[in-house]
Structures are given as structure tokens and as C-alpha cells.
Amino acid sequence: MKMKSKADVVVVGGGIIGLFSAYWLAKSGEEVVVIEKKYPGSGSTFRCGTGIRQQFGDYANIQMMKKSVEIWKNLGEMLEFPEFKFAQTGYLFLLYSDEEIESFSKNVRLQNKYGIPSRIITPEEAREIVPLIDISEVKAASWNPTDGKANPFLAVRGLLNALKNLNAEVYPYTEVKEILHRGNEVKGVKTSRGEIRADIILNATNAWAKILNEKLGLKFPIEPYKHQAVITEPFKYDEIKPMVISFKYGGAYLTQEVTSGGVIGGIDLKYGPTWDLTTTYKFMREIAKNFTHIIPALKYIPLIRQWAGYYAETPDHNAVIGKVREYDGYYIAAGFSGHGFMLAPAATKGIVDIILHGKSDLPMDFYDPYRFERGELREQAIQMG
């Protein structure tokens, strides 16, 4: 495919963030191209845990996720891609101590204030939702029925389809070598396949963000950490509908994957910063130990695959989203710290609002790229895996 030589906006990174941003831009009539080093989804999107939740502990992530869920729910229709379905099956946090109950009750009050119908329930109620869980040590659970999960492969395919219909181009196996600029204005990119002129560039490369930023001498604290996940053989659907979380047992998250019905999940064992993605046996052992504590029947289920991907982590585990002051026309939406897939609809809407209108109704200041240098770190986002 011959590359265009100019566009209104160049989006670097063909994961969920880059593709979703390109979608909003193209819908607003912008001529947009997406440059992807490998193939769309290959970075972190296709390696993610598939969860989509609004149970956060701060005003910004709660509101952003509320907006995201509204969009996730209608995405199949919006993209005219009915294969994509958001499974609104909830998130169930198992709580084992008074301290945990207190901290989740506080979060629930905040979530309720923003219209999220989360609540603290009894262990017996939790067992009604997932009959297989062991509640012998569980004291309560935090439950939100409007959280859910989705298939990242279908989300990417739907977006690619829509981008094609909107005449937005996606160039796979194309690497940005240089960012062209005149003075402090960006002017385009030099890629492995030629130059593309554009006055607006969006860095949507998540774990690779610092590599692109360094081409302009910019530094934002985003580092790649190796996290892993597993999937088991499929079994009857809807045995484990919601995402089940246990901080006591390995910071584990697990659910039946929405398309195959196998259990997908992970724990909080991480390595890094590193570019290495070799899977570790230690992780597999820890998964087995912790998952079977949470749901004893899983001991009969064979694990078929384990893989690794990056969490592009920042010091407060919140993304870096906004306009870059040093270069006019340069924007960033990266460093999602394991929440890029779930946040994608609202986060990209927010950055595209900022690109096109200079502001957004969404609480985008929370993700201000300059909060780190000002020492204004956010409370760490609730993170699993």
C-alpha cells in the first residue's frame, strides 16, 4: 500500500488507544493516518485481561470509566460491527478483612455519588453471583453489575473496519524514525517507509512512549513492566460471569473469557522495567496456587497458555494524556498502567476533544503530563495484575 505524503493528524501506535483516537478524529472530518510498528493490536491490546470496570477509588477514573462503559455498550452498533459485544457481567471484589471492607466502602460511596450502582454485599450474596467461589474466608464483597468485559480482538477489528469506511489509513509494519519539526512546531514524521507531513502528531504508543518522546528530547515517566496472564481450556459458559478479584490471593483477577469460555486472568507478579516478555514458571505456579484458593474447582481445569505483555506504568499508575507544551501540535495519550483497554473510549474522546477544541468536558486534567514534574502525583489507581 502506497503511503500518503500528508495528513491532518498522524497517530503513532495502532493499539486500542491509537485506533480509537483515529476513529473520533476521522468522524470529525480530519484526515488521519495511523502508523503501527508491527500490526494493529500487537502491543498491549491483544495481550490484555479483557476487563472493563468502573470500581475505581478516585473521581476521575470513575467518571472516565462511566463514560467508557456507555460507549463500550454501544460500540458494536456505533461501528456497525455487530460481532463486537460488551458483556456486562460485573466485577466482584472479594474482601477478607475489616480494613479492606472499610476502604472499599469508601470507594463505593464515591462511585455511587457518580451514579455507579456498586454496593457492598455479603459473602452469601457473592456466592449467589459466582457459586464456585470459596467464601470460607470472605467477609464481604464489593459488587458492581454494570462493569464487564469485552474481546479485544473484536474491538480492534471493529475499529479497523470503521476506519476503512471513514477513509482513514492504517499503516502496519511501519516505524517512526524521526519526528519532523520546525522550531517548536511539529511538521510530520519520517518513517521506515517514507515521510508524512502533518501539523498534529499523537503519541499513542503506550509502553513505547518514551522512545518516541526521546526523539524530541521529551521525558515523561512511562516505563514498560512485564505482566503475564493465562487462559485455561474452555468450559460451560457463565459459570464465572463477572471478573472476580482477590487482593488477598495474589492480587488475582479472573473470569471466563467472553468468546472462548476459558478462564482468563492474572496476578500481581511483575518484572521490570524491562523489554523482556519471556513467560516465567514462577507465575504459572502462583496462578495455580491463588486461583485454586479463590475457586477450588479450578484445580480440575487445564491451563493451556500463558503469555506476557507490558503495563506501561507511571509513578501513580495513571495515564499521561494531554498537550505537550514544548512542541506545538504534539500530543500524548500513553502510560495507561494496565487500564488502556477499558479506558480507551473515554480517554481517546478526551484527547481528541483537546486536539480539536483545546478542552474537554471529561476530567482530563487528572492525567496532566506535567503533574510529575510538579510533584502532584495522584492517588495510585486501583490496579490488579
Among 82, 167, 281, 374, binds other proteins (CB under 8 A): 281
Whole-angstrom distance, CA of residue 355 vs CA of residue 367: 15
- 153 counts as binding other proteins under rule CB under 8 A: yes
- 300 counts as binding other proteins under rule CB under 8 A: yes
- 41 counts as binding other proteins under rule CB under 8 A: yes
What type of residue is 252? A
* Residue among 207 and 320 whose Cβ is closer to other proteins: 207
- 306 counts as binding other proteins under rule CB under 8 A: yes
* Nearest-approach distance from CB 124 to other proteins, in angstroms: 26
- 358 counts as binding other proteins under rule CB under 8 A: no
- 164 counts as binding other proteins under rule CB under 8 A: no
Q: Are 35 and 191 in contact (CB under 8 A)?
A: yes
- 271 counts as binding other proteins under rule CB under 8 A: no
> Which residues pair with residue 7 across a beta bridge?
none
* Residue among 265 and 335 whose Cβ is closer to other proteins: 265
Measured over the CA atoms of residue 74, residue 75, residue 77 and residue 79, the dihedral's sign is positive
* Residue among 59 and 307 whose Cβ is closer to other proteins: 307
The grid coordinates listed for 353 are 476533544
Q: Are 378 and 58 in contact (CB under 8 A)?
A: yes
Whole-angstrom distance, CA of residue 161 vs CA of residue 157: 6
Among 261, 307, 368, 372, binds other proteins (CB under 8 A): 307
Whole-angstrom distance, CA of residue 229 vs CA of residue 279: 9
Whole-angstrom distance, CA of residue 336 vs CA of residue 68: 14
- 288 counts as binding other proteins under rule CB under 8 A: yes
Whole-angstrom distance, CA of residue 100 vs CA of residue 191: 49
* Residue among 211 and 231 whose Cβ is closer to other proteins: 231
- Residues of this chain that interact with other proteins (CB under 8 A) are 39, 41-42, 46, 153, 157, 232-233, 260, 279, 281, 284-285, 287-289, 291-292, 298-307
